[in-house]
């Protein structure tokens, strides 16, 4: 499958690449090392100064199997692939863990979550 990357597509792709990296909670240095490109090149791509290479895109999809390749390339669908059959989603795992907490521990989790959400804005 050949994908023609135009200037407009590049802008959208670079935003999705940045979103994946931030979703993974990684710095550009960590992320670029994991996908096999230089940090300076990743920075150029994220800032829209360079087009993403096949090496960069395949590095993301190969290293992070939960990332939906169609979403990364086109923006269609969800960012993450559904978990493999029989494996609980992150939301289900979080809910299971929270159920095991005492009420005071749940309050701590709630407070921490609120602080995390504030720092994202």
What is the Cα–Cα distance from 35 to 9, expressed in whole angstroms?
A: 21
pTM: 0.65
Do 19 and 48 sit in the same domain of this protein?
yes
Do 102 and 69 sit in the same domain of this protein?
no
Residue 117 pLDDT class (50, 70, 90 cuts): confident
Residue 121's pLDDT is 61
What is the Cα–Cα distance from 36 to 34, expressed in whole angstroms?
A: 6
Domain count, the chain: 2
Residue 8 pLDDT class (50, 70, 90 cuts): very low
In a domain, 80, yes or no: no
97 within 8 A of 86, measured Cβ to Cβ = no
Per cent of the chain over pLDDT 90 is 56
In a domain, 108, yes or no: yes
Q: Tens digit of pLDDT for each residue in 43-97?
A: 999 999 999 999 999 999 999 989 999 999 998 888 998 877 777 777 788 888 8
- For residue 36, the enclosing domain spans 7-74
Q: Which residue has the higher pLDDT, 87 or 31?
A: 31
φ/ψ (deg, to 5) at 35? -100, 0
Q: What is the mean pLDDT of the chain?
A: 87
CATH of the domain at 33: 1.10.260.40
Residue 37's pLDDT is 97
Do 31 and 59 sit in the same domain of this protein?
yes
Do 64 and 104 sit in the same domain of this protein?
no
Do 58 and 103 sit in the same domain of this protein?
no
Residue 21's pLDDT is 96
Q: Any bridge partners for residue 67, and if so which?
A: 80
In a domain, 39, yes or no: yes
Do 58 and 17 sit in the same domain of this protein?
yes
In a domain, 38, yes or no: yes
In a domain, 81, yes or no: no
DSSP alpha helix (H) spans, the chain? 7-23, 28-35, 39-46, 54-63, 69-74, 90-99, 103-119
Do 68 and 103 sit in the same domain of this protein?
no
Residue 69 CA to its chain's centroid (Å): 12
Do 102 and 61 sit in the same domain of this protein?
no
């Amino acid at each position: 499958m050949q994908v023609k990357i135009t200037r407009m597509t590049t802008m959208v792709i670079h935003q999705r690449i940045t979103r994946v990296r931030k979703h993974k909670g990684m710095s550009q240095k960590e992320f670029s090392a994991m996908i096999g490109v230089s940090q300076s090149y990743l920075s150029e791509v994220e800032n829209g100064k360079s087009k993403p290479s096949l090496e960069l895109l395949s590095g993301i999809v190969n290293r992070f199997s939960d990332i939906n390749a169609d979403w990364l390339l086109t923006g269609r669908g969800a960012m993450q692939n559904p978990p493999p059959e029989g494996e609980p989603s992150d939301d289900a795992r979080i809910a299971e863990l929270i159920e095991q907490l005492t009420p005071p521990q749940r309050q701590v989790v709630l407070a921490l979550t609120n602080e995390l959400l504030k720092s994202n804005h």
